[in-house]
Chains A and B, each alone.
Chain A
């Protein structure tokens, strides 16, 4: 099968854990210091469209898990690359040299919402939020209900009581 051949080609050069989830979906796990070399290798294999990248926060295991999804127009296959970095001091190399501006704009959004530092990204200025001085808002330990209650709850208004005093 085509999925097995692609995993074999990657396992010959790098130390990874590969698996096939279903038709047209491959998952590969790797350590964060070899990430940019692996991305250059699969871009030469034909995966030239970066569909999305995302960060998941696991506070019990103490990590941020990064996921990169890339699609190949030639073979019609999607590969998912996963790495893990430390949650209290999150730093990783940027993939801007490999995939260009489509990677740079996704990393700018993740820097603002989760607080990850990307080394090598030319522009990390804020995108959606203005003058934000608290923790990055999408972490699991940011209590957004307390933030709204402190800044915006109007105790005189009877209709807002349902949201803050429970049902």
Chain B
């Protein structure tokens, strides 16, 4: 019995206690999210951005979307003389962020950005209408 206690004491001194002291100074692998964050790479698939001046109204993005999240609608009445055709309205609640609309658009009007902070309390924020913005550089 006394021999076993001496053996356990030696094992603690020579193997376990040095490991405890070394582990106290190692860098941890947890990232404390809202205060620090990892860098996001290029090519990340986040929120859509739509440039109405480049759009040709071909309708290919609406035909290829697997979940029918894109629908071609007309713009509100005050912009109708400058933009007479139909433009895509995106419903982000149905979207699965696959990027097929970005790959098929022939003029590069729809692109996916790096923004992923998309949660909201108001369910009308989810639908993005094709309204032209007032400022020229946005």
Contact = CB atoms under 8 A, between A and B. Distances in A.
B102 interface: no
A116 B62 CA distance: 40
Interface stretch (A30-38, A51-59, A159-167): A159-167
10 contacts: A159-B91, A159-B93, A159-B94, A159-B127, A162-B68, A162-B71, A163-B68, A167-B62, A167-B68, A167-B71
Interface in B114-138: 127
Contacts of A159: 91, 93-94, 127
Given A159-B93, A162-B68, A167-B68, 7 more contacts: A159-B91, A159-B94, A159-B127, A162-B71, A163-B68, A167-B62, A167-B71
Interface residues of B, number: 7
Nearest to A163: B68
Contacts of A167: 62, 68, 71
A167 B127 CA distance: 17
Contacts, number: 10
B127 to A, nearest CB: 8
Range for the number of chain A residues in contact with chain B: under 10
A162 B89 CA distance: 12
A162 B91 CA distance: 11
A81 to B, nearest CB: 35
Interface of A: 159, 162-163, 167
Nearest to A161: B71
Contacts of B68: 162-163, 167
Contacts of A163: 68
A94 B4 CA distance: 66
Q: Would you list the 7 A-B pairs with minimal beta carbon distance, nearest first?
A: A162-B68, A162-B71, A159-B91, A167-B68, A163-B68, A167-B62, A167-B71
A50 B91 CA distance: 45
Nearest to B91: A159
A163 B91 CA distance: 13
A159 B94 CA distance: 9
A162 B71 CA distance: 8
Contacts of B91: 159
Nearest to B63: A167
Interface string B65-77: 0001001000000
A140 B73 CA distance: 34
Interface string B48-85: 00000000000000100000100100000000000000
A162 B93 CA distance: 13
Nearest to A158: B127
Contacts of B94: 159
A25 to B, nearest CB: 31
